[in-house]
């Protein structure tokens, strides 16, 4: 066993490197200061312009609109998730006709604006009122809230179809081959081996999709749905106080932050075995 016969003399600590202020750093400090000043000014403006009478008059309406927004987004997202599962399998199907039709559906709803889709449902379907009356569905399509749910469900189902398809295909093919070699039934292997791994991959895109859906839900106010944005527009038309829109923005920000943090906690809990 070798050992050192002469100890290396202690060396002085290296001199501290002086970081010079670059142009990028100066620009970053400038914009951070600007944003801080704007934020403080906005907060001061809200506090100074606080009107208790308007809050008492329109506060309950905004809370009711908030509930409508939550119900609209939750219903659309859940129905879209249910619809996306068979669509994802159809998208991955070896049947060319089935996969092509599903691809066209996904391409159409992902490639066109949600607002145009809502208009097509709300203003286009009444042209076939006689047909919907014959099959007993006119009560559904004459209600703007249900039209909004229908359009948003079809829209989010297209995005969720690609999320599910991508998550399933991200699982290595060897997982299926190993399950088959062990004699595990295809459905059991899919439910206990493929889905848990695919779910981890799909968690983050699902979170992004629901956040985008929350913000996109404001478009249904155009078709007279009194969600949060619809109630905000109503309050503004009575008061002409632009701070109403600031409060609506704060409501949306709170919803998104609650969803983002809750989703992050759930993702952390489900992926805790991957952390070291």
Report the C-alpha gap between 52 and 8 in whole angstroms: 75
Encoding tokens for residue 34? 């600007």
- Residue 5 placed within a domain: no
- Residue 118 placed within a domain: yes
CA distances from 205 to 7, 146, 155, 229 (A): 57, 26, 15, 25
- Residue 26 placed within a domain: no
- Residue 174 placed within a domain: yes
Q: Does an H or E element contain 258, and which?
A: helix 243-270
- Residue 16 placed within a domain: no
Report the C-alpha gap between 127 and 124 in whole angstroms: 6
Annotate 83-119 with b (16+ C-beta within 10 A) or e (fewer): bbeebbbbbeeeeeeeeeebeebbeebeeeebeebbb
Using one digit for the tens of pLDDT, what is the confidence trace for 101-151? 999 999 999 999 999 999 999 998 888 888 888 888 888 888 899 999 999
* Overall average pLDDT of the 244-271 stretch: 84
Number of separate domains in the chain: 1
Using one digit for the tens of pLDDT, what is the confidence trace for 197-220? 888 888 888 889 999 999 999 999
Of 268, 124, 267, which is closest to residue 203 (Cα–Cα)? 267
CA distances from 82 to 43, 56, 164 (A): 42, 40, 11
Identify the band that residue 2 occupies on the pLDDT scale cut at 50, 70 and 90.
low
| CA atoms within 13 Å, Cβ hemisphere of 261 | 5
- Residue 3 placed within a domain: no
CATH code assigned at 167: 1.10.3720.10
Range of the domain at 102: 53-269
Residue 251: what pLDDT? 87
- Residue 23 placed within a domain: no
- Residue 96 placed within a domain: yes
């Amino acid at each position: 066993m070798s050992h050192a016969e002469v100890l290396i003399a202690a060396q002085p600590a290296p001199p501290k490197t002086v970081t010079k202020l670059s142009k990028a750093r100066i620009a970053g400090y400038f914009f951070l200061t600007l944003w801080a000043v704007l934020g403080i000014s906005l907060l001061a403006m809200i506090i100074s312009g606080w009107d208790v009478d308007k809050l008492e008059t329109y506060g309950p309406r905004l809370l009711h609109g908030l509930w409508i927004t939550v119900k609209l987004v939750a219903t659309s997202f859940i129905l879209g998730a249910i619809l996306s599962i068979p669509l994802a399998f159809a998208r991955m199907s070896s049947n060319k006709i089935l996969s092509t039709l599903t691809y066209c559906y996904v391409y159409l709803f992902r490639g066109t604006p949600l607002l145009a889709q809502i208009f097509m449902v709300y203003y286009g379907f009444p042209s076939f009122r006689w047909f919907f009356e014959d099959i007993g569905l006119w009560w559904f399509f004459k209600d703007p809230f249900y039209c909004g749910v229908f359009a948003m469900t079809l829209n989010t189902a297209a995005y969720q179809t690609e999320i599910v398809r991508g998550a399933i295909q991200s699982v290595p093919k060897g997982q299926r081959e190993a399950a088959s070699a062990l004699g595990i039934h295809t459905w059991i292997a899919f439910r206990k081996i493929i889905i848990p791994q695919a779910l981890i991959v799909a968690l983050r895109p699902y979170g992004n999709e629901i956040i985008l859906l929350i913000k996109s839900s404001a478009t249904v106010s155009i078709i007279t749905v009194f969600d949060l944005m619809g109630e905000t527009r109503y309050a503004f038309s009575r008061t002409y106080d632009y701070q109403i829109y600031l409060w609506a923005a704060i409501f949306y920000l709170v919803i998104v932050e609650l969803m983002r943090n809750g989703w992050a906690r759930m993702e952390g809990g489900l992926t805790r075995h991957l952390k070291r």
